[in-house]
Amino acid sequence: MQITHQYINTKIIKKAVDGTGLILGNNLGNYFYMTDEKETRYQGFFYTNGENYKYELEVYKIIDQINVLGKGKLDEIKNNFFGVEKIYRSGITEKYFLPDGYNSVCLGANKNVKAEILLDVRHPYDSRTIGRFYEMEIEKDYALIKFTKRKDYSEDGLGDKKEFTLYLAIKTDQNNYKKIGEFFSKHYQRDLERDSCPWDRFIYKALEIEFKRAVFSVSKNKKNAINEAKNVFADFNKLNKQEEINIYEKLKIPAITDEEIKMAYLCAQNSIYTMTVKNDGKHGAYAGLPWFFQFWHRDEAVSLLQIYKADKDLAKEIIKSQLETIMNNGQIPKGRFCKVEENVLQSADALGWLANRIIKLSEKYKLEEDFKMNIAVSFERAAVNLLKKRTKNGFATNLEAETWMDSLKRGGSRIEIQSCRYNIYELLHKFTKNDQYGILKEELKNGIRAKFYIGGILADGHEDKTIRSNIFLAAYLHPELLTKEEWEVCFDKILPKLYFEWGGISSVDITSNKFIPNDTGENSASYHNGNSWYWINNLAALVLYKLNPHKYSSYINGIMEASTNEILYYGIAGHHSEVSSAKNQTFSGCNAQLWSAAMYLEVVDEMINSNLGS
Query: What pLDDT shows up at residue 339?
Result: 65
Q: Dihedral (C-alpha) 546, 550, 556, 558: value to the nearest 10 degrees?
A: 180
User: Among 318, 307, 326, which Cα is nearest to 282's?
Assistant: 318
pLDDT tens digits, 27-40: 999 999 998 778 99
User: Among 80, 18, 11, which Cα is nearest to 569's?
Assistant: 18
pLDDT tens digits, 172-185: 999 999 999 999 99
Domains 2-234 and 257-613 share a fold: no
Mean pLDDT, the chain, rounded, equals 95
Query: What pLDDT shows up at residue 337?
Result: 77
Burial of 285-300, coded b for 16+ CB within 10 Å and e otherwise, reads: bbbbbbbbbbbbbbbb
Using DSSP, state whether 586 is helix, strand or coil. coil
Query: What pLDDT shows up at residue 424?
Result: 98
pLDDT tens digits, 450-471: 999 999 999 999 889 999 999 9
Query: What pLDDT shows up at residue 421?
Result: 98
Q: Which residue has the higher pLDDT, 57 or 411?
A: 411
Backbone angles phi, psi at 181, to 5 degrees: 65, 55
Residue 613 has pLDDT above 70, yes or no: no
CATH number of 2-234: 2.70.98
Residue 517 amino acid letter = P
Residue 614 has pLDDT above 50, yes or no: no
Decide: 355 and 432 in contact? Cβ < 8 Å.
no
Lowest mean pLDDT across 91-95, 305-309, 461-465, 472-476: 461-465
Query: What pLDDT shows up at residue 341?
Result: 65
User: Among 550, 541, 592, which Cα is nearest to 571's?
Assistant: 592
Query: What pLDDT shows up at residue 53?
Result: 67
Decide: 143 and 177 in contact? Cβ < 8 Å.
yes
- Mean pLDDT for 227-236 is 98
pLDDT tens digits, 506-517: 999 999 999 999
Sign of the four-CA dihedral 505, 508, 509, 513:
negative
> Where are the domains positioned within the chain?
2-234, 257-613
Task: List CB contacts of 70: < 8 A, sequence separation 6 or more.
Answer: 90, 92, 113, 114
The alpha carbons of the chain give a radius of gyration, in whole angstroms, of 25
Residue 187 has pLDDT above 90, yes or no: yes
Strand duo 391-392 + 346-347: pairing: unpaired
Residue 147 has pLDDT above 80, yes or no: yes
571 to each of 73, 115, 441, how far by Cα in Å?
19, 26, 42
Q: Which long-range contacts (CB under 8 A, 24 or more apart) does 451-458 make?
A: 451/395, 452/415, 452/418, 453/482, 453/486, 456/486, 456/489, 456/490, 456/493, 457/490, 457/493, 457/494, 458/415, 458/482, 458/490
pLDDT tens digits, 92-134: 999 999 999 999 999 999 999 999 999 999 999 999 999 999 9
pLDDT tens digits, 416-446: 999 999 999 999 999 999 999 999 999 999 9
Q: Dihedral (C-alpha) 599, 593, 96, 101: value to the nearest 10 degrees?
A: -90
- Mean pLDDT for 50-78 is 88
Total-model pTM:
0.96
> In which element (H, E) is residue 515 found?
none
Query: Cβ-count burial of 152 within 10 angstroms (0-12 exposed, 13-18 middle, 19+ buried)?
Result: middle
Instruction: CATH number for 257-613: choose from 1.10.1040.10, 1.50.10.10, 3.40.50.360, 3.40.640.10.
Output: 1.50.10.10
**CA 451 to CA 534: how far, in whole Å?**
29
Q: Which residue has the higher pLDDT, 502 or 155?
A: 502
Q: Compute the residue count for the chain.
A: 614
Query: What pLDDT shows up at residue 199?
Result: 95
- DSSP letter, residue 97: E
